[in-house]
Amino acid sequence: MFRCLCPKLYSAAMPSRVFLQRVGETMVKTSALNRTGAEVLGALIRNNDTKLFSSATRLRGRKPEDKDVQVEIREKVMNHLEAAWEDAFKNMPTSKARRIASRGRDHYDTTQGDLIYGEVTFSSLSKILTEDLKKHNIALNGTFYDLGSGTGRGVIAAALVGSFDRLCGIEMLEVLHQTALDVQREYETRVVPRLSLSNRNQELKFVKGNLLKANWSDASVIFINSTCFSNKLMENIAKQAVSLKTGACVVTLTRPMVSPYFRLLDSKKYSMSWGDATAHIHIRTEKPDPEAEANARYWNSKKPGRKDFGALFDGYTSA
């Protein structure tokens, strides 16, 4: 991925290009950068990105394995990916998507809360996927699902920051589904080529339908914007999620998933388009664990503002 041009030891005199290549090699070896991130960094180096080389000029007296060096270089990569994500949705801002969702929701008799529309931010979802999941050794490969995918923001973000082979968004509202297809065309025909990503074999798919009638048992990672979901819908999702393989990860917003087959690993507050929401990370266990179910049920019953929250759940919010 990165061609080393100079065998000399690190020094302040090292050319910025060589320094960046060595930082990239080090980050790949330590999994600080995944496949996509490494390719983006390589493209930025080849294109002499001004902001990246400005950082390199300032940092090149440091060692490539220094943590703060890697943090800054990774930030430049993530900023570039976020700009690409925003470019894919430049014709579909959140305000417009909400109006479209409102019109589409009127055609259904289902619980209105289940179809209330809210969008994730790239910054928050990318941190959930690349930092929180990584902390628990959950790999961003295999198959990713976004249940209730709206205009596709979660799917496109996961495609950019992960190494998933297949990504699928399931959405009930026809108007949002069609919008996601439009965004997909923009992403694949205009955004991906501009990122200079080679061997991009990811399969993106958007499906219109009821998430409870779809088959997502092959998922490695599932994301669910469940802030406004009803109790009944969450119960049904938890029942269907039992079909997932051991080790599969489910991330929900605001409401943890109550099931003896899922252990709640972590909970952390993030900013979304409608305000703050807590991301809950669950992992499918091999055997049922009644204690895990009781723990999730306890926190699911809590109301914001209670003083008896544990440290793990102090970010809980009703969003």
pLDDT for residue 36 is more than 80? yes
Q: What is the pLDDT of residue 274?
A: 67
The pTM of this model reads 0.84
- Percent of the chain past pLDDT 90, that is, above it, reads 59
pLDDT-derived band of residue 99, with 50, 70 and 90 as boundaries?
A: confident
Q: What is the pLDDT of residue 279?
A: 92
Q: 179-226, pLDDT tens digit by residue?
A: 999 999 999 999 988 887 665 678 999 999 999 999 999 999 999 998
Q: What is the pLDDT of residue 186?
A: 94
Q: 128-164, pLDDT tens digit by residue?
A: 999 999 999 999 999 999 999 999 999 999 999 998 9
**Secondary structure of the chain as H, E, C letters:** CCCCCCCCCCCCCCCHHHHHHHHHHHHHHCCCCCHHHHHHHHHHHHCCCHHHHHHHHHHCCCCCCCHHHHHHHHHHHHHHHHHHHHHHCCCCCHHHHHHHHHHHHCCCCCCHHHHCCCCCCHHHHHHHHHHHHHHCCCCCCCEEEEECCCCCHHHHHHHHHCCCCEEEEEECCHHHHHHHHHHHHHHHHHHHHHHCCCCCCCEEEEEECCCCCCCCCCCCEEEECCCCCCHHHHHHHHHHHCCCCCCCEEEEECCCCCCCCEEEEEEEEEEECCEEEEEEEEEECCCCCHHHHHHHHHHHCCCCCCCCCCHHHCCCCCC
